[in-house]
C-alpha cells in the first residue's frame, strides 16, 4: 500500500511541515482575499456566472489551529474507511501471496521468452497497485528484478523500471484503489470506483507504451552491453539470492488467498455498480478479505489481529495528513474565499479551449504531487478546488478525478519527494542516472495521459 513515505532528503520539508504552513498561509489569506460565493445546485455543482462578493470572515489564531481537530471530525468517514481498508489489506499482503506469485512466474519464464518478463510484471504489479493499493511492498523486489535483469544480460535500469513502472502506472490508472480514486470520487460526489472501464483502458495503454520503451532498451543492451547507460562495473555485478524466492513458494493456501482476493474484487465491482455501495459496505468486504486470508493461512486469531493492528499503525500518519488537508479546506470554506480562488483560477482557463484547460489541470496536479506526495492527502487538498473548477469549465467530475490520478501516479517515481530515492537505493542506481534514463519515458507517458484526457473530453467521460 502506498503509505506515502516521507522524503529523507536534505532541504525538503516534512509533509506535516508543508501542510501546517499551508494552513497558516490559508488563514493569512482570509485577511486579504475578498470573500465570495457561487450559487450551487442541489448536487453541489457551481452555476457559472453567479459569483458574487460576500462579507469577509477572516480567521483568528484559535479558529485556525482548531481546524486540525475539526478536520479530523469532518473527514472521519474517509479516515476510518482508510484505517479498516489498509489494515485489512496489510493482512493479505503479510500472507506472502504476492511474493509467491512473483516467485512462481519468474520460474516459468526462461530462455528466449525471458524478455516477456518485462511487460508481464509491469502489468501484474500495476494490477496489484490499481486494485489493492500495493506500493511499498514491492520495494524489496527491486533488488530481485535487478538481479534477474543482470542474469538475462540486461542492466539494473531494466530491473528497477519493472517495479517503478508497475507501481507508478498502477496508481495512475487505478480502478479500485481506495486511497486515491476512492477518496477523490467521494469528494467529487461520484459513486465509488465508477468509470473504471475507461481507467483500465488508460492503464493498459500506458503499460503498453512503457513496456515497449523498456523492452527496446533491454534488447539493445543485450545485443551491445556498451550501449547500457550503466558503465560502472559494480553496478552490473549482482546476484540472485535464491533463498529470497525459495521462502515464498506458491502453495495451495496462497492460491486460495488469490481466489479470495478475486472474489472480493468481484464483489466490490458488483456492489458499487448494482447496489451503490459506499464506504460502509466496502469496508466490510475488505475486512472479509483480510480476516479470511489469515484464516486460510492457518493463523491464530491473535496473529491475524496483530497483523491487522500493524497495518492500522502504519497508516496512521497518512490519516493525520488527511485531517490536516481537510483543515485547509475548512479555512477556505468557512471564510468564503474558496469560491474566490476558484473564480480567479477559472478566469484565465475560461479563455482557453476546454481541452487546453484540462491539460493545464494535469500539469498543476503533477506539480502539486512534488509538494504533497501523499496520494490521499493530495486528493483532499486539490480536489475541492479542481472539482468546482471543472464544473465551471464544462469538464466532467469523472475527468477531473482522472486528471488527479494521472498527476499523482507516475510522478511518484520521478520526484525527489516521492519514492524515487528509495527505489534507487534498492537498485543501487544513482538518482541522477535514473532521472537521465527515465525522463524521456516520463514525458512520453505524460503525453499519453494528455491524449487520454482529450479522449475523455471527446466521449464526455
Cα–Cα–Cα angle for 376, 378, 383, rounded to 5 degrees: 100
* Predicted structure pTM score: 0.78
Predicted confidence at residue 11, as pLDDT, reads 54
CA dist 413 and 214 (Å) reads 15
- Residues 329-382 pLDDT 10s: 889 889 989 888 888 878 887 778 888 889 988 988 888 777 766 677 778 778
Cell numbers of 99, please? Answer: 511474493
CA dist 186 and 193 (Å) reads 9
Following DSSP, what letter does each residue of 331-398 receive, concatenated?
A: HHHHTT-HHHHHHHHHHHHHTS-HHHHHHHHHHHHHHHHHH---HHHHHHHHHHHHHHHHHHHT--HH
- Residues 239-257 pLDDT 10s: 444 455 555 677 899 999 9
- Residues 18-40 pLDDT 10s: 788 889 999 999 999 999 988 87
- Residues 106-132 pLDDT 10s: 777 665 567 888 999 899 889 988 887
- Proportion of the chain above pLDDT 70, given as a percent: 90
- Map out the domains of the chain as residue ranges: 15-28+60-333
Mean pLDDT across the chain: 84
Nearest Cα to 194, choosing from 114, 312, 274?
274
CA dist 122 and 164 (Å) reads 8
Report CA Rg, the chain: 23
CA dist 89 and 289 (Å) reads 8
Predicted confidence at residue 112, as pLDDT, reads 55
DSSP state, 136? G
Rounded mean pLDDT, 4-17: 59
Amino acid at each position: 500500500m502506498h503509505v506515502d513515505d516521507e522524503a529523507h532528503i536534505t532541504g525538503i520539508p516534512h509533509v506535516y511541515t508543508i501542510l501546517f504552513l499551508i494552513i497558516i498561509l490559508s488563514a493569512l489569506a482570509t485577511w486579504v482575499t475578498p470573500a465570495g460565493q457561487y450559487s450551487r445546485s442541489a448536487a453541489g455543482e457551481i452555476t457559472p456566472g453567479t459569483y458574487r462578493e460576500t462579507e469577509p470572515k477572516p480567521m483568528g489564531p484559535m479558529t485556525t489551529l482548531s481546524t486540525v481537530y475539526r478536520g479530523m471530525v469532518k473527514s472521519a468517514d474517509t479516515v476510518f474507511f482508510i484505517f479498516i481498508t489498509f489494515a485489512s489489506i496489510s493482512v493479505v499482503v503479510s500472507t506472502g501471496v504476492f511474493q509467491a506469485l512473483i516467485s512462481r512466474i519468474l520460474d516459468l519464464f526462461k530462455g528466449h521468452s525471458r524478455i516477456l518478463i518485462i511487460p508481464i510484471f509491469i502489468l501484474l504489479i500495476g494490477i496489484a497497485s490499481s486494485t489493492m493499493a500495493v506500493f511499498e511492498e514491492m520495494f524489496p523486489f527491486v533488488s530481485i528484478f535487478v538481479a534477474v535483469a543482470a542474469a538475462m544480460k540486461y542492466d539494473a535500469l531494466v530491473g528497477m523500471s519493472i517495479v517503478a513502472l508497475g507501481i507508478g502506472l498502477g496508481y495512475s490508472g487505478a480502478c479500485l484503489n481506495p486511497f486515491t480514486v476512492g477518496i477523490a470520487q467521494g469528494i467529487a460526489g461520484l459513486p465509488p470506483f465508477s468509470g473504471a472501464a475507461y481507467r483500465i483502458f488508460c492503464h493498459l495503454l500506458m503499460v503498453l507504451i512503457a513496456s515497449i520503451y523498456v523492452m527496446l532498451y533491454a534488447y539493445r543492451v543485450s545485443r551491445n552491453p556498451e550501449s547500457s547507460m550503466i558503465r560502472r562495473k559494480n553496478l552490473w555485478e549482482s546476484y540472485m539470492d535464491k533463498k529470497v524466492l525459495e521462502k515464498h513458494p506458491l502453495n495451495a493456501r496462497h492460491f486460495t488467498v488469490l481466489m479470495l482476493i478475486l472474489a472480493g474484487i468481484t464483489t466490490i465491482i458488483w456492489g458499487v455498480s448494482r447496489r451503490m455501495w459506499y464506504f460502509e459496505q466496502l469496508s466490510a468486504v475488505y475486512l472479509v478479505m483480510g480476516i479470511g486470508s489469515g484464516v486460510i493461512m492457518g493463523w491464530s486469531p491473535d496473529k491475524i489481529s496483530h497483523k491487522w493492528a500493524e497495518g492500522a499503525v502504519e497508516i496512521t500518519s497518512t490519516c493525520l495528513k488527511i485531517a490536516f488537508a481537510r483543515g485547509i479546506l475548512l479555512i477556505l470554506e468557512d471564510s468564503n474565499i474558496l469560491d474566490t480562488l476558484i473564480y480567479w483560477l477559472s478566469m484565465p482557463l475560461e479563455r482557453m479551449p476546454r481541452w487546453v484547460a484540462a491539460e493545464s489541470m494535469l500539469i498543476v496536479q503533477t506539480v502539486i504531487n512534488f509538494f504533497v506526495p501523499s496520494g490521499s492527502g493530495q486528493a483532499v487538498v486539490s480536489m475541492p478546488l479542481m472539482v468546482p473548477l471543472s464544473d465551471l469549465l464544462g469538464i466532467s467530475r469523472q475527468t477531473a478525478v482522472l486528471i488527479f490520478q494521472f498527476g499523482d501516479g507516475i510522478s511518484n517515481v520521478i520526484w525527489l519527494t516521492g519514492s524515487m530515492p528509495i527505489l534507487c537505493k534498492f537498485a543501487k542506481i544513482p538518482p541522477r542516472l535514473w532521472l537521465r534514463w527515465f525522463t524521456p519515458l516520463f514525458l512520453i507517458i505524460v503525453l499519453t495521459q494528455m491524449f487520454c484526457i482529450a479522449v475523455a473530453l471527446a466521449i464526455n467521460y
